A and B are shown apart, each in its own frame.
Chain A
Amino acid sequence: MNESRLPWWLVLLLGVWIAALSVWGSPRAAREVRWGAGLLSLVYLALIFLALGGDPRALPTLSAAVPRGVMAAVSAICAGIALLAGVCLLGQPTWRGRLMGFLIFTVANGLNCFAIGVASVGGTLLVASLVLAMVLVRELGRDDWPSVSGWLRELIPVSSRTATEATNTEIHLPSTTRAGLAGATGIVLALLLVGTLRNVMRLETSRAVASHRFSALPSAERVRATWKSEVTGQSTVGPFELLFDQRADVIVLLTVMAFLALARHNATRSHDGTTP
Chain B
Amino acid sequence: MTFADWNHGLLFAAVLIIMGAMLFVSAATTRDRLIALGVLSQGIVVTFVVSGSFHGRSELLLAALALVVLACLWSLLVGGTVLASDVIDEARTGDQQ
Q: Which one of B15, B49, B58, B81 lies within 8 Å of A272 (CB-CB)?
A: B81
Residues 5 to 28 of chain B near chain A (Cβ within 8 Å) = 5, 7-9, 11-12, 15-19, 21-26, 28
Q: Known A98-B32, A256-B21, A264-B78; judge A54-B8 contact (CB<8 A).
A: yes
- Given B7, B38, B39, B47, which contacts A249 in the complex, CB threshold below 8 Å? B47
From B7, B15, B26, B96, contact of A83 by CB (8 A): B15
CB distance from B37 to the nearest CB of A (A): 10
A82 CA to B17 CA, complexed, in Å: 12
B85 touches A261 (CB 8 A): no
1/0 contact trace for B37-51 toward A, CB 8 Å? 011101011110111
Q: Which of B7, B21, B85 contacts A260 (CB 8 A)?
A: B21
A168 to B84, CA, bound (A): 7
CA distance A256 to B3 in the complex (A): 26
Q: Which residues of A contact B18 (CB under 8 A)?
A: 18, 21
Sample of 27 A–B contacts (CB below 8 Å):
A21-B18, A22-B22, A45-B15, A49-B11, A53-B7, A54-B8, A54-B11, A75-B5, A76-B8, A79-B8, A86-B15, A89-B19, A89-B23, A98-B31, A98-B32, A102-B38, A106-B42, A109-B42, A109-B46, A116-B1, A118-B53, A121-B60, A168-B88, A169-B85, A243-B61, A253-B66, A264-B33
Residues of B within 8 A of A86 (CB): 15-16, 19, 39
Residues of B within 8 A of A120 (CB): 60
Q: Chain B at the A interface: mostly helix, strand, loop or mixed? A: helix
The reply to whether B60 and A52 contact each other, CB–CB distance below 8 Å, is no
Query: Is the C-beta of A263 less than 8 angstroms from some C-beta in chain B?
Result: yes
- Report A's interface with B, CB cutoff 8 A: 18, 21-22, 25, 45, 48-49, 52-55, 58, 72, 75-76, 79, 82-83, 86-87, 89-90, 95, 98-99, 102, 105-106, 109, 112-113, 116-118, 120-121, 125, 142, 164-165, 168-169, 217, 220, 223, 227, 243, 249-250, 253-254, 256-258, 260-265, 267-269, 271-272
Asked if B22 contacts A18 (CB within 8 A), the reply is yes
Alpha-carbon separation in the docked complex, A275 to B36 (Å): 27
Of B5, B26, B47, B73, the contact of A72 (CB 8 Å cutoff): B5
Q: Which residues of B contact A (CB under 8 A)?
A: 1, 3-5, 7-9, 11-12, 15-19, 21-26, 28, 31-33, 35, 38-40, 42, 44-47, 49-51, 53, 55, 58, 60-62, 65-66, 69-70, 73-74, 76-78, 81, 83-85, 88, 96-97
Closest to A224 in B: B3
Tell me if A264 and B25 are in contact (CB < 8 A): yes
Check B83–A271 contact: CB distance below 8 A. yes
List of A residues within 8 angstroms of B16 by Cβ: 82-83, 86, 109
The minimal Cβ–Cβ distance linking A206 to chain B, given in whole angstroms, is 19
